[in-house]
Structure 1
């Protein structure tokens, strides 16, 4: 396990419910397009890797697919198993999966590749469990980021915390450009063909307290940075968040946060 992976395990430990109450709604946006890109339909043997609370797995099950779902975090597995009772949901950690070669017709992963310390090894493992001719579809956060994605980071910086100094980074040899071509190249390097990558853009509508609740509970890396601060600094971050959020506040009081992501898909040769 890399240090990046160890940080990820700490960031998500026991936080499934806090994630489901906040960031999960944001991450659910590409679910339908992800399943479309993987051509998931009736009878398709699909693996949802990094299932989280089971949003994508539930979508695949609704399409009458044969669903297997895995996550590295036990609290996520418990949550997903309860929400998708017809799926085989279990704990498994990339880059090692407990499945035979070519087991699945389709593999999907919604914002999971950005949470692994060895993305190329993870892609090689996903290629291994995909049957020849089967499909893969993955999402990740891209660059440049949507302006709504920067809101929390701006609040942290306004409170005097250097976010970049606290966030773990991939080893240099594991990094890849967070662009359409960079993400597509990652799939091609793992042996997938007919690869394409699209940039998705959407406005995430939420409330200020919902947006704050996840990070305040330590969800994700930015949440880990926030909860590690002294109480006075955490309070300052929250105050700055309220001020900065004004530019994204709609007439009804909700926040409208522009986000972007990348969706790459391909076929196992």
Structure 2
């Protein structure tokens, strides 16, 4: 694993419940489109990589697919097994999956490439375990960030939070632009002719649920929040309440504009 992979493993350790109670509903939104892009249907052998609490796996099972799901985090594996007991759920991580070549009809990865240290190796591994003519579909968060994600940057800036310089990042030679062209280019380098769609929506959530993500250590905002002292947390909360007021409706819920990139491709039937 790269230093970034090791950091991600530590960052997500034991956080299945915190994720489920905060950002899981946000990440669930593209699940149907992801499975549509993978052409997942009755009897298909579907691999859900980075299953988290099993959101995509459960939807694939409901469509009649034969589901295998993997995650690098044991607490996520336990949560997915409880949610989809019919699926084969295992602990495993990219870019080394415990399956032989061409095992699956399709592989999906919902917001997983954001969390790996070698994205190209990860996509090549997805290609390896999918049969020729099978499908691969992946989602990522785009850059520039949509308003929902930009909100946290604005909150931290207003609270005077300094960004640490020691947080691991994907090595520049292994990274890719988080744009539609960048994502399709990544899949192209893995030997896949990909197309990419942008999915835009307004994420409706309770303000406390949105706060609970970083407060529970989830994501890059959570990594930053966890380093702050109580006085700084209080300032962050004050700025959070001020900045989210713009997005609050009469029902008290937030309506946060956001977007995801969905890339999909068919595995070539020829070698090379």
Instruction: Give the TM bin, normalised by the shorter chain.
Output: over 0.9
Alignment RMSD, CA only? Answer: 1.1
Q: Write out per-residue CA displacement over residues 42-99 of structure 1, whole angstroms, 9 at most, x where no aligned residue.
A: 0100000000010000010001100000000000000000000100001001110000
The correspondence of residues 131-146 of structure 1 with structure 2, limited to 5 A, is: 131-146=131-146
Q: Which moved more, 1:52-61 or 1:231-240?
A: 231-240
Give the number of aligned pairs.
Answer: 268
Residue equivalent to 1:210? 209
1:240 lines up with 2:234 in the alignment:
no
Q: How big is the shift at 1:221? A: 2.2
How far is 1:151 from its partner?
1.1
CA distance in structure 2 between the partners assigned to 1:75 and 1:172 by the alignment: 30
Normalising by structure 1, we get a TM-score of: 0.97
1:177 offset after TM fit, Å?
A: 1.2
Q: CA contact under 8 A between 1:167 and 1:221: conserved in structure 2?
A: no
Structure 2 counterparts to residues 1-269 of structure 1, below 5 A: 1-163=1-163, 165=165, 167-193=167-193, 195-269=194-268
SS state of the match for residue 24, structure 2? helix
How much does 1:113 deviate? 0.6
Inter-partner Cα distance in structure 2 for 1:179 and 1:217: 28
User: TM-score scaled by structure 2?
Assistant: 0.96
Cα distance in 2 for partners of 1:24, 1:77 equals: 15
Separation of aligned partners in 2, 1:82 and 1:229: 34
Matched residue SS, 2:143:
coil
Change (3 A) 1:167 1:261: farther
Equivalent position SS for 2:101? coil
Answer whether contact 1:227 1:234 (CA < 8 A) is retained.
no
Deviation at 1:166, TM superposition (A): 5.7
1-structure distance, mates of 2:122, 2:239? 38
The secondary structure found in structure 1 opposite 2:17 is helix
Q: Distance in 2 between matches of 1:248 and 1:3?
A: 37
Q: Secondary structure at the match of 2:36?
A: helix
Between the aligned partners of 1:138 and 1:88, the Cα distance in structure 2 is 20
List gaps (5 residues or longer) in structure 2.
Answer: none
CA distance in 2, matches of 1:34, 1:164: 34
Deviation at 1:112, TM superposition (A): 0.3
Which stretches of structure 1, 4 residues or longer, exceed 4 Å deviation after superposition?
A: none
Q: Which runs of 5+ in 1 are unaligned?
A: none
